[in-house]
Structure 1
Amino acid sequence: MSRAAGPIWRVLAGTALALLLLACASPDFERPGASRAEVLARLGAPAGTSPLPGGGERLLYTTQPAGYRAFHMDFDANGRLVHTEQVFTFAQFSSVVPGQWTVADVQRTFGLPMLVERVARFDGDIWTYRFLDDFSTRRQAHIHIDRGGVVRMVMFTDEPVPGDDRMP
């Protein structure tokens, strides 16, 4: 091995170790009873917070725009973790009720989307989220929000595969 190869291997090994340690800092690994301060120390600032009945608080952690998951972490009034739920699921996106949900409800439940866009046939924004369905198929949920901030429609599509230019 040349002298130049030695530092390269050390850099690669260090990067691999850092990624491994980073992977351990995930809402998946947090256990009920953990304090809010402990969770924040491990995971950092959440993407959002919202109050819960009884004085508790929900923290939202999301992997958007590149990832496929978002977590609700519910804390009781004493600041202890009581429940963690991955909310980027077909069932959760299907529970969005057009005409009743608002942009605030969508943001509180799912956080900011990976993409906000407009199309000619809808007068408002379309918020797109990436998620994995029950069969680990890459999907997208498209939530249509009118100019008044009310959800008008939810649609689902398969996520395009990079480099696949075949026509359907």
Structure 2
Amino acid sequence: MNEQTAIKAINKQGFKQKMKAYMKRPGSFILLILVLLAAITTVGVLGTLVGYILINGLPYLKPSLFAWTYNSDNVSMMPAIINTLIMTAISLLISVPFGMGAAVYLVEYAKKGNKLVGIIRVTAETLSGIPSIIYGLFGMLFFVTTLGWGYSILAGAFTLAIMVLPVIMRTTEEALLS
């Protein structure tokens, strides 16, 4: 009997057969009950949170929340949404060419034992392990303060570009190697 037929036989077991198997191993049955209770509790808590937020938040959702004007009378989310989209587009325009270029170089052109390849890979792996709050702090100190760009979309876009660069490099490398 191979492994696949054994799995099919287990899946075709009836309720009585499964209960007999659990009675032979009560620890397995207790573990099943605990896992089911944990899953039910998790789904229940999540459902309660979502329900609470929807019940208390839906009355405040109005069309003026997405109006084009932002003032003290009308607090609109539309400028923040538009600025986020612009910042994301600029950061991708900056990081995609560098990330894809670096990945193509590493996969296609660079020699395997090259020191530069090792340095680039270690740097990319290190950058991918840094929390986003550290990137934000770096962007604040370097782009806003040191370079004097102020609180601008460009400072945020460059910070985001540095943050997504290792992801783009790694994804492109994997795509080229497959």
Specify the TM-score bucket, using the shorter chain as the normaliser. Answer: under 0.3
Q: Greater helix percent: which structure?
A: 2
Q: Greater strand percent: which structure?
A: 1
Which is greater in Rg? 2
TM-score after normalising by structure 1: 0.27
Instruction: Name which structure has the greater RCO, CA cutoff 8 Å, separation 6+.
Output: 2
TM-score after normalising by structure 2: 0.26
